[in-house]
Amino acid sequence: MLQMTREQSEYEVRFESLFKPGRGFAFPCDQSGRLDLDRASEAARNNYFFARAMVGREFSPPVVRPLTLH
């Protein structure tokens, strides 16, 4: 569901930086944390796979959370 806009998605899967507070990656997902990678852009897929590969080294384990719209 990476192509979904934040207005359409109610959840995000978030990878927080271990070293830079407030930094990380967030991707729109469903309540279970599933992303539609087949419909994602190449850049979004690359960022997602990079964040997953760097869990424990650069990023914390992913957390699914409700989106807070401002």
The upper half-sphere exposure of residue 3, i.e. CA atoms within 13 Å in the direction of its Cβ, equals 7
CB 19 within 8 A of CB 56: no
Q: Which of 47 and 2 is assigned the larger pLDDT?
A: 47
Cβ atoms of 3 and 36 within 8 Å: the answer is yes
* pLDDT beyond 70 at 5: no
pTM recorded for the entire structure: 0.80
Q: What is the pLDDT of residues 18-64, one digit of tens each?
A: 999 999 999 999 999 999 898 889 999 999 999 999 999 999 999 99
